[in-house]
Structure 1
Amino acid sequence: MKKLLSFLKYGLLLGVSAFLMWYALKELDFERMWAELKNANYYWVLVSLVMGVAAYVSRAIRWKMQIKPTGYNPSLANTYNAMMVGYLANLVLPRMGEVARCSILKRTDDLPVNTGFGTVLAERFIDMIMLLLVIGLTFLLQFGRIRAFFLDLLTDKYSSLEHSLHAFYWVFWVLLGSAVIILALLLRYLGRLRENIFFQKAISFVKGMLQGIFSITKIDNQVAFWGHTVFVWAMYYGMSLVVLYALPATADLGWGAGLSVLLVGTLGMAAPVQGGVGVYHLLVQATLLLYGVPKEAGMAYALLAHTSQTLLVVIMGAFSFVASMLQRRKPVPQSAESNITHTA
C-alpha cells in the first residue's frame, strides 16, 4: 500500500508538470521558438554551467562547515557526493533529496540521519533569508516592472481567496486547539511518557536534529561560511543573467531583468513538482513579457536555462551516486564495537 501511494504521488506530480508544460507551450509559434534556440550563443550557456558547478562546490564546502561542529567530519568529496545525489533525487520526487543526502552520509561517514537533516533544515532557513533579500532588492530596484506581475497574480486569485478566507480561519482555530490539547496531554502524562521506549527514541531524534540545526552557531569561521552563502547566490544570479546574453531577444535586457528572473525562477524551482518543470517555465516567460520579450523568446530562455542546469544536475548527480556507492562504509570505531559487544 505504501509503495502504491508513493507511485500515485509521483504520477500525480509528474502529471501536473506535464500539464503545466503543455499549457506553457500550447499557444506558441514553435518555428519562432526554434529559430530563437538555433540562433542562440551557447557560449553563455556554458558560462552558466561553470557558474553552476562553482555554486555546487561552494554549497558542499558550506555544508561540511555546518556538519563539523556536530562532532562528525566527512570529507569534502563525500559531502559533495551526498549533496548532488540529493539534488538528483529531487528531480524524481520533490523533497526526497533531503532524506537521500543524509542517508548517503550515514552510509559513508556514519552521520546520524536526524543530525544531518537538522543541518539541511538550517541550510534551507539560510536560503530563505537570502531569497527574502533577493525579493527586497528586486522590488526596490525593479518595482515598476515586477509589481505588475505580482499584482496581476494577486488580482486573479483574490476573489477565490476571499471566498476561502472563512474556511482558513476555521482550519487555523482547529489546528491551534488541537495543538493546545496535545500539549496539555503531554504535560499531564510526561512522567509516563518518559518511560516509553518510542517516546525516548522520538526525543533522541529531536535532540539530534536540533544539534544539526544549531550547529550553524558553532561554526569556527563565520566569515567564510557567510562568504560561501553570498558566493552561492551570486552564482545563481550570474546563471540567470548570462543566459539572457545567449538569445538575441534578451541580450540587451541587462542586470535588472536578471534579478527579476532569479526571483521568479527560484520561486518556480521551489514548487512541489519535479525540478520545477512547468512552473519555472511559466513564471519566467511571464516575467520576461514585462520586459517586452515575446512569448516564444521567453520560453526559449526558460528552456535553455532550465534544461542546461537540469542536465548538469543529472550528470553530476549520477557520477556522485556511483562514487558514493563505491565508497566503503566508514568502519565503526573499535571502542564503539567493544561497547556493543560488552552491552550484548
Structure 2
Amino acid sequence: MKKFVDVLKYTLLLAFSGLLMAYALRGQDLSKIGQALREANYFWIGLTLVISVLGYFSRAYRWKMQLDATSHRTSFWNVYHAMMVGNLANLVLPRMGEVIRCSVLRRMGGVPVNVSLGTVITERIIDVLVLFGLLGTVLLLEFGKFWNFVAAVVTDRASIMEKRGPLLLGIAAVLLVLLVLLLVLGIRNLERLRRNRYFSRAASFVRGILSGVFSLRKVRNQGAFWFHTFFTWLVYYLMDYLAFFAFAATAALGLTAALSVLAFGAFGMAAPVQGGIGVFHLMVSRTLLVYGLSHEAALAYALVIHASQTLLVALMGGISFVASVMKTGRNVVALPEPAETTA
C-alpha cells in the first residue's frame, strides 16, 4: 500500500509539472521556439556544462569538509558519487535525493545517515540564505523593472489574507493548542518515554542530525569552506550569463539580467517537482519578459538551459550510480533506517 501511495504521489507531481509546462507553452508560436533552438550557438551551452562540472566537484568538496568536521571521514569520491546519485534521484523523486544521497554515503563510506543528513540540512540553510540575499539584491538593482510584478503579488496575497484571515487564524490557534498539549504530555511522561526503545532510537537519530547541523562550527578551514560556497553560486551565475550568448535575443542582456535569472530560476528549481520541470521554465521565462524578450525567445532560453543541465546530471549521476554499485556490489539506493546511531 505504501509503495502504491508513493507511486501515486510522484505520478501526480509529474502530472503537475506537465501541466505547468503546458501552461508555459500555451498560446506560444512553437515554430518560433523551434527556430530559436535551431539557430542557437551551442558552443556557449557546452561551455556552461564544463563550468557546471567544476561546480559539482566544488560542492562535493565542501560537503566533505562538513563531514570531516563530524569525525566521520570518507574519501572525496565516495562523497561525490553519493551527491550525484542524489541529484539524479531528484529528477525522479523530488526532494528525496537529499535522503538518498545520505543513504548511498552510508553504504559506500560508512557515514551514519543522521549525521550526513544534518550536514545536508546545514548546506540547504546556507543555500536558502544566499538565495534570499540574491533576490533582495535583484529587487534593489532592478526595482523599477520588478515593481509591478512584486506589487501584483503583494496585492493578491493581501486580498487572500483579507478573505480567509479568520479561517487561517482559527487553524493556527488549533495547531498551537495541539502543540502545547503535546509538549505538556511529553514533559509529564518524559521518564516513560526515555524507557521506550522507539523514542530512544528517535532521540539518537535526532542527536546525530544535530551533530551534522552544528558541524559547520568545527570545519577546520573556514576560508576554504566559504570559498567553495561562493564558487558554487558563481558557477550558477556564469551558467546563466554565458548562456545569454547562445541566443540572438539574449546576447545583449547584461550581468544584472543574469542575476535576476539566477535568483528566480533557483526558486523554480527548489519547487517540489521532478527536476523543477515546468516551474523553472515559468520562472525564467517570466523573468526574461521583464527585460523585453518575446515569450518564444524566453522559453527557448529556459528550455535549453534546463534540458542541458538535466542531461548533464543524468550522465554524471548515472556514472556515479554505476560506480557506487560496483564498489558495494549491490543497489545502494535505499532509504535509511531510523535506528542507526552515531557510534
The superposition leaves residues 115-138 of structure 1 with CA deviations (integer Å, 9 ceiling, x where unpaired) of 111110000001011112111211
Deviations 1:53-103 (A, max 9, x none): 111111000000000121111111110000011011111011110111000
Q: Following TM superposition, where does structure 1 have runs of at least 4 consecutive aligned residues deviating by more than 3 angstroms?
A: 153-158
Q: Are 1:162 and 2:162 counterparts?
A: yes
Counterpart of 1:85 in structure 2 is: 85
Cα deviation, 1:238-262, whole Å, max 9, x if unaligned, reads: 1111111110001101111101100
Distance in 2 between the 1:230 and 1:58 partners? 10
Q: Which stretch of the first structure deviates more once superposed, 165-174 or 289-298?
A: 165-174
Q: Which moved more, 1:131-140 or 1:54-63?
A: 131-140
SS in 2 for 1:92: coil
RMSD (CA atoms): 1.2
**What are the equivalent positions in structure 2 for 1:1-344 lying under 5 Å apart?**
1-328=1-328
Q: State the secondary structure of the residue aligned to 1:327.
A: helix
1:278-322: CA deviations, max 9, x gaps? 111111111111111000000000001111001110110000000
**Residues matched between the structures, number:** 329
CA contact 1:17–1:273 (8 Å) conserved in 2: yes
Whether the 8 Å CA contact 2:193–2:199 is kept in 1: the answer is yes
Give the CA deviation at 1:148.
Answer: 2.6
- Identity in percent: 50
SS at match of 1:318: helix
SS of structure 2 residue aligned to 1:43 = helix
Normalising to structure 2: TM-score of the pair? 0.93
Distance verdict in 2 for CA 1:161–1:16, change over 3 Å:
farther
In structure 2, runs of 5+ residues without a counterpart are 330-343
Give the secondary-structure state (helix, strand or coil) at the position aligned to 1:250: coil
Give unmatched runs, 5+ long, in structure 1.
Answer: 330-344
CA contact (8 A) 1:149 1:286 kept: no
Q: Distance in 2 between matches of 1:183 and 1:196?
A: 17
SS in 1 for 2:111: coil
Question: Secondary structure of 2:240's partner?
Answer: helix
Moved more, 44-53 or 58-67: 44-53
Using the TM superposition, give the Cα deviation of residue 141 of structure 1 relative to its aligned residue in structure 2, in angstroms.
1.2
Contact 1:149-1:290 at 8 Å conserved across structures: no
Confirm or deny: 8 A CA contact 1:146 1:260 kept in the other structure.
no
Query: Separation in 1 of the partners of 2:151 and 2:307?
Result: 29
The Cα shift of 1:157 comes to 4.7
What is the CA–CA distance in structure 2 between the aligned matches of 1:241 and 1:197, rounded to whole Å? 54
